[in-house]
Structure 1
Amino acid sequence: MATAEIAQKLDSELHSPIVELRRYTLHPGRRDDLISLFDTHFLESQELCGMEIIGQLRDIDDPDAFVWLRGFDDMQARHHALTAFYDGPVWAAHRNAANDTMIDSDDVLLLRPVGRDAGFSLPHERSGRVSGEPSHAIIEAATYGLKTSAEGFLAFYDEVLSPLLRAAGNHAIATFASEHSPNTFTRLPVRLGENVVVVFSRFDSAGDQAAFRDLLDANPAWQAVQPRLATYLIAPPIIARLAPTARSLLR
Protein backbone atom coordinates (compact mmCIF):
# COMPACT_ATOMS: atom_id res chain seq x y z
CA MET A 1 0.00 0.00 0.00
CA ALA A 2 1.35 3.44 -0.92
CA THR A 3 2.37 5.85 1.85
CA ALA A 4 -0.49 8.25 1.03
CA GLU A 5 -3.01 5.41 1.18
CA ILE A 6 -1.63 4.27 4.54
CA ALA A 7 -1.86 7.81 5.92
CA GLN A 8 -5.45 8.15 4.70
CA LYS A 9 -6.37 4.81 6.27
CA LEU A 10 -4.77 5.83 9.56
CA ASP A 11 -6.63 9.12 9.57
CA SER A 12 -9.95 7.32 9.20
CA GLU A 13 -9.34 4.56 11.75
CA LEU A 14 -7.13 5.86 14.55
CA HIS A 15 -8.52 7.79 17.49
CA SER A 16 -5.84 10.52 17.57
CA PRO A 17 -3.90 10.61 14.29
CA ILE A 18 -1.90 13.62 15.56
CA VAL A 19 -0.35 13.52 19.03
CA GLU A 20 1.71 15.99 21.01
CA LEU A 21 4.20 14.51 23.48
CA ARG A 22 4.92 17.33 25.92
CA ARG A 23 7.64 17.28 28.59
CA TYR A 24 7.78 20.16 31.07
CA THR A 25 10.66 21.07 33.38
CA LEU A 26 9.15 22.43 36.59
CA HIS A 27 10.37 24.43 39.53
CA PRO A 28 11.44 22.11 42.37
CA GLY A 29 8.51 20.78 44.36
CA ARG A 30 5.82 22.13 42.02
CA ARG A 31 4.79 19.01 40.07
CA ASP A 32 1.83 18.10 42.24
CA ASP A 33 0.60 21.69 41.99
CA LEU A 34 0.50 21.43 38.20
CA ILE A 35 -1.15 17.99 38.34
CA SER A 36 -3.83 19.43 40.62
CA LEU A 37 -4.51 22.19 38.09
CA PHE A 38 -4.81 19.60 35.33
CA ASP A 39 -7.11 17.37 37.35
CA THR A 40 -9.37 20.24 38.37
CA HIS A 41 -9.35 22.62 35.41
CA PHE A 42 -7.45 21.46 32.29
CA LEU A 43 -8.79 18.04 31.32
CA GLU A 44 -12.47 18.38 30.46
CA SER A 45 -12.00 22.02 29.43
CA GLN A 46 -9.47 21.09 26.73
CA GLU A 47 -11.54 18.17 25.53
CA LEU A 48 -14.58 20.44 25.16
CA CYS A 49 -12.43 22.44 22.73
CA GLY A 50 -11.96 19.42 20.47
CA MET A 51 -8.85 17.54 21.61
CA GLU A 52 -8.24 14.45 23.72
CA ILE A 53 -6.02 14.51 26.79
CA ILE A 54 -4.43 11.09 26.47
CA GLY A 55 -2.29 10.94 29.56
CA GLN A 56 -0.62 12.85 32.39
CA LEU A 57 2.46 11.23 33.85
CA ARG A 58 5.17 11.70 36.45
CA ASP A 59 8.73 10.89 35.37
CA ILE A 60 9.79 8.68 38.27
CA ASP A 61 13.48 9.41 37.62
CA ASP A 62 13.04 13.20 37.58
CA PRO A 63 10.87 14.72 40.34
CA ASP A 64 10.67 18.01 38.46
CA ALA A 65 9.45 16.65 35.12
CA PHE A 66 5.82 16.38 34.03
CA VAL A 67 4.94 14.54 30.82
CA TRP A 68 1.60 14.61 29.06
CA LEU A 69 0.05 13.77 25.71
CA ARG A 70 -2.89 15.19 23.82
CA GLY A 71 -4.39 14.11 20.54
CA PHE A 72 -6.12 15.71 17.56
CA ASP A 73 -8.00 14.50 14.49
CA ASP A 74 -5.69 16.39 12.10
CA MET A 75 -3.50 19.48 11.95
CA GLN A 76 -6.36 21.84 11.12
CA ALA A 77 -8.37 20.46 14.03
CA ARG A 78 -5.31 21.05 16.22
CA HIS A 79 -5.26 24.71 15.24
CA HIS A 80 -8.95 25.18 16.00
CA ALA A 81 -8.85 23.28 19.29
CA LEU A 82 -5.77 25.03 20.64
CA THR A 83 -7.07 28.45 19.60
CA ALA A 84 -10.35 27.77 21.37
CA PHE A 85 -8.64 26.69 24.57
CA TYR A 86 -5.83 29.24 24.81
CA ASP A 87 -8.16 32.10 23.90
CA GLY A 88 -10.81 30.77 26.27
CA PRO A 89 -11.85 31.56 29.85
CA VAL A 90 -10.36 28.52 31.62
CA TRP A 91 -6.81 29.16 30.45
CA ALA A 92 -7.20 32.90 31.12
CA ALA A 93 -8.25 32.16 34.69
CA HIS A 94 -5.50 29.66 35.51
CA ARG A 95 -2.58 30.29 33.14
CA ASN A 96 -0.58 32.32 35.67
CA ALA A 97 -0.86 29.58 38.26
CA ALA A 98 0.17 26.97 35.67
CA ASN A 99 3.04 29.00 34.22
CA ASP A 100 4.36 29.72 37.72
CA THR A 101 5.12 25.99 38.13
CA MET A 102 7.22 25.81 34.95
CA ILE A 103 10.82 26.48 34.02
CA ASP A 104 10.46 25.21 30.44
CA SER A 105 7.46 23.98 28.41
CA ASP A 106 8.96 23.93 24.90
CA ASP A 107 10.10 20.27 24.79
CA VAL A 108 7.30 19.11 22.50
CA LEU A 109 7.30 16.39 19.86
CA LEU A 110 4.59 16.33 17.20
CA LEU A 111 3.90 12.70 16.34
CA ARG A 112 1.85 10.41 14.11
CA PRO A 113 1.11 6.68 14.57
CA VAL A 114 3.16 4.53 12.20
CA GLY A 115 0.94 1.47 11.80
CA ARG A 116 -2.72 0.49 11.66
CA ASP A 117 -2.81 -0.44 15.35
CA ALA A 118 0.00 1.84 16.49
CA GLY A 119 -2.08 4.44 18.34
CA PHE A 120 -3.26 4.28 21.94
CA SER A 121 -6.25 2.21 23.01
CA LEU A 122 -7.89 4.17 25.81
CA PRO A 123 -10.94 3.86 28.07
CA HIS A 124 -13.94 5.98 27.12
CA GLU A 125 -14.18 7.69 30.53
CA ARG A 126 -11.60 8.96 32.99
CA SER A 127 -11.74 8.78 36.78
CA GLY A 128 -13.62 11.55 38.56
CA ARG A 129 -11.91 14.46 40.26
CA VAL A 130 -12.33 12.85 43.70
CA SER A 131 -12.61 9.12 43.03
CA GLY A 132 -9.51 8.60 40.88
CA GLU A 133 -6.73 6.36 42.19
CA PRO A 134 -3.18 6.31 40.85
CA SER A 135 -2.32 3.37 38.65
CA HIS A 136 0.57 1.15 39.70
CA ALA A 137 1.53 0.74 36.05
CA ILE A 138 4.68 2.13 34.49
CA ILE A 139 4.50 3.54 30.97
CA GLU A 140 7.92 3.30 29.35
CA ALA A 141 8.59 5.79 26.56
CA ALA A 142 11.61 4.89 24.41
CA THR A 143 12.60 7.76 22.13
CA TYR A 144 14.91 7.01 19.22
CA GLY A 145 16.47 10.06 17.57
CA LEU A 146 17.19 9.11 13.97
CA LYS A 147 19.84 10.22 11.49
CA THR A 148 17.39 9.97 8.59
CA SER A 149 13.69 9.30 8.05
CA ALA A 150 11.95 6.59 10.02
CA GLU A 151 11.23 3.95 7.36
CA GLY A 152 14.51 2.03 7.49
CA PHE A 153 14.68 2.13 11.26
CA LEU A 154 11.09 0.92 11.64
CA ALA A 155 11.81 -2.09 9.44
CA PHE A 156 14.87 -2.88 11.56
CA TYR A 157 12.85 -2.39 14.73
CA ASP A 158 10.06 -4.72 13.61
CA GLU A 159 12.36 -7.43 12.28
CA VAL A 160 15.19 -7.38 14.81
CA LEU A 161 14.53 -5.34 17.96
CA SER A 162 10.86 -6.08 18.59
CA PRO A 163 11.24 -9.89 18.90
CA LEU A 164 14.05 -9.44 21.43
CA LEU A 165 12.06 -6.89 23.41
CA ARG A 166 8.96 -9.10 23.50
CA ALA A 167 10.98 -12.12 24.60
CA ALA A 168 12.27 -10.13 27.58
CA GLY A 169 8.74 -9.15 28.64
CA ASN A 170 8.05 -5.91 26.78
CA HIS A 171 4.45 -5.13 25.82
CA ALA A 172 4.42 -2.26 23.32
CA ILE A 173 1.13 -0.34 23.33
CA ALA A 174 1.76 2.43 20.78
CA THR A 175 4.39 3.47 18.22
CA PHE A 176 4.79 6.95 16.75
CA ALA A 177 7.09 8.79 14.36
CA SER A 178 7.65 12.49 13.75
CA GLU A 179 4.85 14.44 12.09
CA HIS A 180 6.52 16.95 9.78
CA SER A 181 3.57 19.18 8.97
CA PRO A 182 4.07 22.88 9.75
CA ASN A 183 3.19 23.87 13.29
CA THR A 184 -0.42 25.07 12.99
CA PHE A 185 -0.38 26.83 16.38
CA THR A 186 2.81 28.85 16.49
CA ARG A 187 2.13 30.32 19.93
CA LEU A 188 3.31 26.94 21.28
CA PRO A 189 6.70 25.83 19.90
CA VAL A 190 7.40 22.25 18.84
CA ARG A 191 10.71 20.58 18.05
CA LEU A 192 11.05 21.00 14.28
CA GLY A 193 13.45 19.32 11.89
CA GLU A 194 13.89 16.14 13.94
CA ASN A 195 13.21 12.53 13.03
CA VAL A 196 12.20 10.42 16.00
CA VAL A 197 10.38 7.20 16.71
CA VAL A 198 8.76 6.87 20.13
CA VAL A 199 7.63 3.46 21.36
CA PHE A 200 5.38 3.31 24.41
CA SER A 201 5.20 0.14 26.49
CA ARG A 202 3.18 -0.73 29.58
CA PHE A 203 4.28 -2.67 32.65
CA ASP A 204 2.10 -3.59 35.61
CA SER A 205 4.61 -2.18 38.09
CA ALA A 206 8.00 -0.52 38.43
CA GLY A 207 9.37 -3.91 39.50
CA ASP A 208 8.17 -5.51 36.27
CA GLN A 209 9.76 -2.78 34.21
CA ALA A 210 13.06 -3.09 36.07
CA ALA A 211 13.05 -6.89 35.67
CA PHE A 212 12.45 -6.49 31.94
CA ARG A 213 15.38 -4.10 31.58
CA ASP A 214 17.68 -6.39 33.59
CA LEU A 215 16.72 -9.40 31.47
CA LEU A 216 17.16 -7.45 28.26
CA ASP A 217 20.56 -6.05 29.22
CA ALA A 218 21.77 -9.55 30.11
CA ASN A 219 20.74 -11.01 26.75
CA PRO A 220 23.77 -11.55 24.47
CA ALA A 221 21.55 -11.28 21.39
CA TRP A 222 20.43 -7.80 22.52
CA GLN A 223 24.02 -6.74 23.08
CA ALA A 224 24.98 -8.10 19.66
CA VAL A 225 22.51 -5.84 17.81
CA GLN A 226 23.58 -2.63 19.57
CA PRO A 227 26.25 -1.67 16.98
CA ARG A 228 23.69 -2.03 14.19
CA LEU A 229 21.12 -0.04 16.20
CA ALA A 230 23.67 2.75 16.67
CA THR A 231 24.01 3.19 12.91
CA TYR A 232 20.44 4.54 12.80
CA LEU A 233 20.69 6.90 15.77
CA ILE A 234 22.12 10.31 16.53
CA ALA A 235 22.44 9.39 20.23
CA PRO A 236 21.53 6.49 22.53
CA PRO A 237 17.78 6.00 23.01
CA ILE A 238 16.14 8.00 25.80
CA ILE A 239 14.18 5.69 28.09
CA ALA A 240 11.65 7.42 30.35
CA ARG A 241 9.80 5.61 33.14
CA LEU A 242 6.44 7.31 33.58
CA ALA A 243 3.81 6.85 36.30
CA PRO A 244 0.21 7.78 35.34
CA THR A 245 -1.60 10.28 37.52
CA ALA A 246 -4.97 9.43 39.06
CA ARG A 247 -7.00 10.90 36.20
CA SER A 248 -4.81 9.81 33.29
CA LEU A 249 -6.59 7.84 30.57
CA LEU A 250 -3.26 6.26 29.68
CA ARG A 251 -2.74 3.95 32.64
Structure 2
Amino acid sequence: MNLPLNVATEPAVSASPVVELRQYTLKPGKRDALIDIFDNRLIEGQEEAGMTIIGQFRDLDRADMFVWMRGFDGMDARKDALTAFYGGPVWSAHSNAANATMIDSDDVLLLKPARPAAGFDLSDSPRAGLTTDQKPSRNKPLTSIVVIQIHHLRPGAETDFTNRFETEMAPLMTAPGARLLAAFVTEHAENSFPRLPVRARENVFISVMGFDSAEAHARHEAALAGSPAWQMFWQAARPDLTRPSETLRLSPTSRSRLGR
Protein backbone atom coordinates (compact mmCIF):
# COMPACT_ATOMS: atom_id res chain seq x y z
CA MET A 1 0.00 0.00 0.00
CA ASN A 2 1.53 3.28 -1.03
CA LEU A 3 0.70 5.04 2.20
CA PRO A 4 3.02 7.09 4.41
CA LEU A 5 2.48 4.41 7.05
CA ASN A 6 4.78 2.73 9.52
CA VAL A 7 3.56 -0.53 8.01
CA ALA A 8 5.25 -3.78 7.22
CA THR A 9 7.00 -4.44 3.93
CA GLU A 10 8.09 -7.95 4.93
CA PRO A 11 5.55 -10.56 6.02
CA ALA A 12 7.95 -11.88 8.68
CA VAL A 13 7.39 -8.80 10.83
CA SER A 14 3.80 -8.02 9.88
CA ALA A 15 1.11 -8.80 12.42
CA SER A 16 -1.00 -10.20 10.75
CA PRO A 17 -3.09 -11.09 7.67
CA VAL A 18 -6.11 -11.61 9.97
CA VAL A 19 -6.73 -9.29 12.93
CA GLU A 20 -9.44 -9.08 15.57
CA LEU A 21 -10.42 -5.75 17.13
CA ARG A 22 -12.11 -6.65 20.41
CA GLN A 23 -14.03 -4.22 22.64
CA TYR A 24 -15.10 -5.53 26.04
CA THR A 25 -17.68 -3.88 28.28
CA LEU A 26 -16.65 -4.53 31.87
CA LYS A 27 -18.37 -4.36 35.21
CA PRO A 28 -17.88 -0.96 36.88
CA GLY A 29 -14.44 -0.61 38.38
CA LYS A 30 -13.15 -3.95 37.05
CA ARG A 31 -10.92 -2.78 34.19
CA ASP A 32 -7.65 -2.75 36.10
CA ALA A 33 -8.43 -6.21 37.46
CA LEU A 34 -8.87 -7.58 33.93
CA ILE A 35 -5.72 -5.82 32.70
CA ASP A 36 -3.74 -7.40 35.53
CA ILE A 37 -5.03 -10.86 34.56
CA PHE A 38 -4.53 -10.25 30.86
CA ASP A 39 -1.06 -8.74 30.98
CA ASN A 40 0.35 -11.10 33.58
CA ARG A 41 -1.46 -14.38 32.88
CA LEU A 42 -2.90 -14.56 29.36
CA ILE A 43 -0.46 -13.05 26.84
CA GLU A 44 2.19 -15.75 26.61
CA GLY A 45 -0.36 -18.56 26.56
CA GLN A 46 -2.11 -17.03 23.56
CA GLU A 47 1.12 -16.45 21.69
CA GLU A 48 2.32 -19.98 22.40
CA ALA A 49 -0.93 -21.17 20.82
CA GLY A 50 -0.08 -19.29 17.61
CA MET A 51 -1.50 -15.77 17.94
CA THR A 52 0.15 -12.36 18.01
CA ILE A 53 -1.09 -10.13 20.82
CA ILE A 54 -0.76 -6.77 19.09
CA GLY A 55 -1.99 -4.31 21.69
CA GLN A 56 -4.27 -3.88 24.68
CA PHE A 57 -5.68 -0.60 25.92
CA ARG A 58 -7.75 1.43 28.33
CA ASP A 59 -10.39 3.45 26.48
CA LEU A 60 -9.84 7.07 27.51
CA ASP A 61 -13.49 8.04 26.98
CA ARG A 62 -15.24 4.97 28.40
CA ALA A 63 -14.05 4.01 31.87
CA ASP A 64 -15.35 0.45 31.73
CA MET A 65 -14.10 -0.52 28.26
CA PHE A 66 -11.08 -2.71 27.54
CA VAL A 67 -9.96 -2.75 23.90
CA TRP A 68 -7.42 -5.11 22.40
CA MET A 69 -6.18 -6.51 19.11
CA ARG A 70 -4.71 -9.87 18.21
CA GLY A 71 -3.47 -11.26 14.92
CA PHE A 72 -3.34 -14.60 13.13
CA ASP A 73 -1.51 -16.04 10.14
CA GLY A 74 -4.82 -16.80 8.37
CA MET A 75 -8.34 -18.05 9.01
CA ASP A 76 -7.29 -21.69 9.39
CA ALA A 77 -4.46 -20.64 11.69
CA ARG A 78 -7.00 -18.62 13.69
CA LYS A 79 -9.15 -21.70 14.18
CA ASP A 80 -6.17 -23.78 15.30
CA ALA A 81 -4.80 -21.11 17.65
CA LEU A 82 -8.13 -20.35 19.30
CA THR A 83 -8.93 -24.04 19.68
CA ALA A 84 -5.58 -24.65 21.32
CA PHE A 85 -5.80 -21.69 23.70
CA TYR A 86 -9.43 -21.92 24.79
CA GLY A 87 -9.07 -25.67 25.24
CA GLY A 88 -5.77 -25.36 27.04
CA PRO A 89 -4.51 -25.00 30.61
CA VAL A 90 -3.88 -21.23 30.66
CA TRP A 91 -7.47 -20.27 29.86
CA SER A 92 -8.78 -23.03 32.11
CA ALA A 93 -6.82 -21.60 35.01
CA HIS A 94 -7.79 -17.96 34.54
CA SER A 95 -11.10 -17.91 32.63
CA ASN A 96 -13.33 -17.64 35.70
CA ALA A 97 -11.44 -14.64 37.04
CA ALA A 98 -11.34 -12.93 33.64
CA ASN A 99 -15.01 -13.59 32.83
CA ALA A 100 -16.02 -12.30 36.26
CA THR A 101 -14.92 -8.79 35.19
CA MET A 102 -17.00 -8.72 31.99
CA ILE A 103 -20.52 -7.72 30.98
CA ASP A 104 -20.01 -8.27 27.23
CA SER A 105 -17.12 -9.62 25.15
CA ASP A 106 -18.87 -10.11 21.79
CA ASP A 107 -18.10 -6.73 20.19
CA VAL A 108 -15.51 -8.08 17.75
CA LEU A 109 -14.54 -6.95 14.25
CA LEU A 110 -12.70 -9.43 12.05
CA LEU A 111 -10.27 -7.54 9.82
CA LYS A 112 -7.59 -7.82 7.16
CA PRO A 113 -5.05 -5.21 5.99
CA ALA A 114 -6.61 -2.76 3.54
CA ARG A 115 -3.70 -3.56 1.25
CA PRO A 116 -1.05 -6.28 1.64
CA ALA A 117 1.49 -3.92 3.23
CA ALA A 118 -0.95 -1.95 5.38
CA GLY A 119 -0.79 -4.14 8.50
CA PHE A 120 1.18 -3.46 11.65
CA ASP A 121 4.96 -3.58 11.71
CA LEU A 122 5.92 -4.80 15.17
CA SER A 123 9.55 -5.48 14.37
CA ASP A 124 10.71 -2.59 16.55
CA SER A 125 8.04 -3.01 19.24
CA PRO A 126 9.15 -5.54 21.86
CA ARG A 127 6.82 -6.24 24.75
CA ALA A 128 7.96 -5.22 28.21
CA GLY A 129 8.69 -7.97 30.63
CA LEU A 130 8.94 -10.96 28.30
CA THR A 131 12.58 -11.54 29.23
CA THR A 132 14.94 -9.79 31.57
CA ASP A 133 17.21 -8.65 28.75
CA GLN A 134 14.49 -7.38 26.39
CA LYS A 135 14.21 -3.61 26.49
CA PRO A 136 12.03 -1.24 24.48
CA SER A 137 13.77 0.29 21.49
CA ARG A 138 14.59 3.97 21.62
CA ASN A 139 14.81 4.21 17.81
CA LYS A 140 11.18 5.26 17.51
CA PRO A 141 9.31 7.88 19.53
CA LEU A 142 7.05 6.53 22.25
CA THR A 143 3.36 6.71 21.51
CA SER A 144 1.25 7.90 24.40
CA ILE A 145 -2.11 7.14 22.82
CA VAL A 146 -3.46 5.09 19.96
CA VAL A 147 -6.49 6.34 18.02
CA ILE A 148 -8.65 3.95 16.00
CA GLN A 149 -11.24 5.34 13.62
CA ILE A 150 -13.95 2.99 12.40
CA HIS A 151 -15.73 4.02 9.19
CA HIS A 152 -18.90 2.07 8.35
CA LEU A 153 -19.22 1.57 4.60
CA ARG A 154 -21.95 0.43 2.27
CA PRO A 155 -21.29 -2.99 0.69
CA GLY A 156 -18.87 -2.77 -2.22
CA ALA A 157 -17.38 0.58 -1.23
CA GLU A 158 -14.18 -0.79 0.33
CA THR A 159 -11.94 -0.64 -2.75
CA ASP A 160 -12.85 2.89 -3.75
CA PHE A 161 -12.66 4.15 -0.17
CA THR A 162 -9.26 2.50 0.32
CA ASN A 163 -7.90 3.96 -2.91
CA ARG A 164 -9.09 7.45 -2.04
CA PHE A 165 -7.79 7.11 1.51
CA GLU A 166 -4.38 6.23 0.09
CA THR A 167 -4.16 9.10 -2.32
CA GLU A 168 -6.09 11.88 -0.58
CA MET A 169 -6.47 11.21 3.13
CA ALA A 170 -3.31 9.47 4.31
CA PRO A 171 -0.93 12.26 3.24
CA LEU A 172 -2.89 14.66 5.45
CA MET A 173 -2.73 12.38 8.50
CA THR A 174 1.04 12.16 8.97
CA ALA A 175 2.35 15.15 10.93
CA PRO A 176 4.71 15.92 13.82
CA GLY A 177 3.64 13.82 16.77
CA ALA A 178 1.29 11.71 14.63
CA ARG A 179 1.92 8.38 12.91
CA LEU A 180 -0.42 6.42 10.69
CA LEU A 181 0.27 2.86 11.82
CA ALA A 182 -2.07 0.65 9.80
CA ALA A 183 -5.31 0.42 7.85
CA PHE A 184 -7.82 -2.43 7.72
CA VAL A 185 -11.07 -3.51 6.10
CA THR A 186 -13.54 -6.20 7.12
CA GLU A 187 -12.50 -9.81 6.59
CA HIS A 188 -15.69 -11.35 5.21
CA ALA A 189 -14.56 -14.98 5.47
CA GLU A 190 -16.78 -17.24 7.55
CA ASN A 191 -15.95 -17.16 11.24
CA SER A 192 -13.54 -20.07 11.66
CA PHE A 193 -14.13 -20.30 15.44
CA PRO A 194 -17.88 -19.80 15.98
CA ARG A 195 -17.55 -20.26 19.74
CA LEU A 196 -16.36 -16.63 19.70
CA PRO A 197 -18.84 -14.50 17.71
CA VAL A 198 -17.84 -11.61 15.44
CA ARG A 199 -19.86 -8.77 13.94
CA ALA A 200 -20.22 -10.61 10.66
CA ARG A 201 -22.59 -8.12 8.99
CA GLU A 202 -20.28 -5.15 9.41
CA ASN A 203 -18.42 -3.56 6.51
CA VAL A 204 -15.77 -1.20 7.82
CA PHE A 205 -12.57 0.63 7.00
CA ILE A 206 -10.35 1.21 10.02
CA SER A 207 -7.34 3.48 10.44
CA VAL A 208 -4.97 3.16 13.40
CA MET A 209 -2.80 6.10 14.42
CA GLY A 210 -0.24 6.73 17.14
CA PHE A 211 0.21 10.10 18.85
CA ASP A 212 2.88 11.39 21.20
CA SER A 213 0.18 12.71 23.55
CA ALA A 214 -3.51 13.45 23.83
CA GLU A 215 -2.60 17.08 23.16
CA ALA A 216 -0.86 16.09 19.91
CA HIS A 217 -4.02 14.27 18.86
CA ALA A 218 -6.17 17.30 19.65
CA ARG A 219 -3.87 19.57 17.63
CA HIS A 220 -3.93 17.11 14.75
CA GLU A 221 -7.73 16.97 14.75
CA ALA A 222 -7.96 20.75 14.78
CA ALA A 223 -5.58 21.02 11.84
CA LEU A 224 -7.57 18.47 9.84
CA ALA A 225 -10.85 20.19 10.62
CA GLY A 226 -9.45 23.36 9.07
CA SER A 227 -8.15 21.62 5.95
CA PRO A 228 -10.22 22.19 2.76
CA ALA A 229 -8.82 18.95 1.30
CA TRP A 230 -9.97 17.02 4.37
CA GLN A 231 -13.46 18.54 4.17
CA MET A 232 -13.69 17.73 0.44
CA PHE A 233 -12.73 14.12 1.07
CA TRP A 234 -15.52 13.61 3.59
CA GLN A 235 -18.09 15.38 1.46
CA ALA A 236 -17.26 13.04 -1.42
CA ALA A 237 -17.20 9.99 0.87
CA ARG A 238 -20.56 10.67 2.50
CA PRO A 239 -22.59 8.46 0.11
CA ASP A 240 -20.36 5.50 1.02
CA LEU A 241 -20.92 5.85 4.78
CA THR A 242 -23.86 4.08 6.39
CA ARG A 243 -23.58 5.73 9.82
CA PRO A 244 -21.30 8.08 11.74
CA SER A 245 -17.70 7.05 12.14
CA GLU A 246 -16.42 5.98 15.56
CA THR A 247 -13.24 7.22 17.23
CA LEU A 248 -11.52 5.21 19.96
CA ARG A 249 -8.88 7.07 21.99
CA LEU A 250 -6.81 4.42 23.69
CA SER A 251 -4.06 4.33 26.29
CA PRO A 252 -1.80 1.27 25.98
CA THR A 253 -1.22 -0.96 28.98
CA SER A 254 2.33 -1.48 30.18
CA ARG A 255 2.73 -4.70 28.15
CA SER A 256 1.08 -3.58 24.92
CA ARG A 257 3.36 -3.91 21.89
CA LEU A 258 1.41 -1.27 20.02
CA GLY A 259 1.73 2.24 21.34
CA ARG A 260 4.71 1.92 23.67
TM-score normalised to structure 2 length: 0.86
Q: Match of 1:65?
A: 65
Specify the alignment match of 2:164 in structure 1.
156
Say if 2:254 is the partner of 1:246: yes
Mapped contact 2:178–2:216 kept (Cα < 8 A):
no
The aligned counterpart of 1:192 is 200
- Contact 2:14/2:121 (8 A) holds in 1: no
Unaligned runs of 5+ in 1: 1-8
Task: Provide the rounded CA distance (Å) in 1 between the counterparts of 2:121 and 2:13.
Answer: 12
Q: Does 1:24 align with 2:39?
A: no
Distance change in 2, residues 1:246/1:209 (3 Å): same
Deviation beyond 6 Å, 4+ runs, structure 1:
9-13, 129-133
Which of 130, 144, 149 is equivalent to 1:142?
Answer: 149
Alpha-carbon distance between aligned partners in 2 of 1:158 and 1:116, rounded to the nearest angstrom: 13
Between the two proteins, the alignment pairs up a number of residues equal to: 242
1:180 aligns with 2:188: yes
Q: What letter is aligned with 2:209?
A: S
Q: Is 1:225 matched with 2:233?
A: yes
Shift of 1:216: 1.3
Per the alignment, residue 98 of structure 2 pairs with 98
* 1:205–1:182 Cα change, 3 Å: same
State, as a whole percentage, how many aligned pairs show the same letter: 47
The CA distance in 1 between the partners of 2:98 and 2:20, in whole Å, is 18
Q: How far did 1:46 drift?
A: 0.6
Q: What secondary structure sits across from 2:39 in the alignment?
A: helix
Q: Tell me how far apart the structure 2 counterparts of residues 168 and 90 of structure 1 sit (CA, whole Å).
A: 42
Contact persistence 1:168–1:216 (CA under 8 A):
no
Structure 1 pair 211/124, CA: closer, same or farther in 2 (3 Å)?
Answer: closer
- Tell me how far apart the structure 1 counterparts of residues 36 and 68 of structure 2 sit (CA, whole Å): 14
Corresponding residue number in structure 2 for 1:6: none
Distance in 1 (CA, whole Å) between partners of 2:152 and 2:118 is 18
Could you tell me which runs of 5 or more consecutive residues in structure 2 were left unpaired when the two chains were aligned.
1-8, 137-141
- The CA distance in 2 between the partners of 1:20 and 1:32, in whole Å, is 22
| Kept after mapping to 1: 8 A contact 2:148/2:207 | yes
TM-score by length of 1: 0.89
Query: CA contact under 8 A between 2:178 and 2:212: conserved in structure 1?
Result: no
Moved more, 138-147 or 163-172: 163-172
Q: Which amino acid aligns with 2:26?
A: L
Q: Deviations over 1:141-187 (max 9, x none)?
A: 01111012310111121222223333697421101111111111111
Decide which moves more: 117-126 or 101-110.
117-126
Once the 2 structures are TM-superposed, how far is the Cα of residue 195 of structure 1 from its aligned partner?
Answer: 1.1
Q: 1:124 to 1:59 in 2, by over 3 A?
A: closer
Q: In structure 1, how many angstroms separate the alpha carbons of the residues matched to 2:196 and 2:70?
A: 14
